[in-house]
Amino acid sequence: MIKTSTSPYAALLLRVSLGIMFLAHVGLKIFVFTVPGFVGYFASLGLPAIAAYAVIALEFFGGLALILGIYAPWVAVPLALEMLGTIVLVHGGNGWLFTNKGGGWEYPAFWTVGLVVLYLLGDGAMALKRTQHGAN
């Protein structure tokens, strides 16, 4: 049974916490690894530099959109695809546990599930721009 009286607040809590996590994640890329360092890391994976800038933009603007509730379910889709990409391209070969050397794929997988759940739940309470799809 779904508690329809509280589910909008559950979606709000999930949406805001995911957004904060993405802002923290992109902050790590910008302020700790630095943008040139992150771009270099992408190059070491054989990926084009422009993709590193796209990831930074996606995490920053996506994180803000989630927190503010701006088309949050639709924003969750490319963020979930990014997390799947990190599993395939970065963490997948490091085993399951994120505490493994190089970080396993446990954390990105859980993050992906949270984003899919947000997509399915919808915008939640206090969203600035609501989506119009079947999940609402």
- Reported as half-sphere exposure (CB side, CA atoms, 13 A), residue 136 has a value of 13
Q: How many Cβ atoms sit within 10 Å of the Cβ of residue 65?
A: 21
- Contact by Cβ (8 Å): 133, 73: yes
Q: How many Cβ atoms sit within 10 Å of the Cβ of residue 23?
A: 17
Residue at 114: amino acid letter: G
- Contact by Cβ (8 Å): 96, 104: yes
pLDDT tens string, the chain, 136 residues long: the values are 878 889 999 999 999 999 999 999 999 999 999 999 999 999 999 999 999 999 999 999 999 999 999 999 999 999 999 999 999 998 888 888 888 888 888 999 999 999 999 999 999 999 999 887 544 4
Q: Is the pTM of this model over 0.95?
A: no
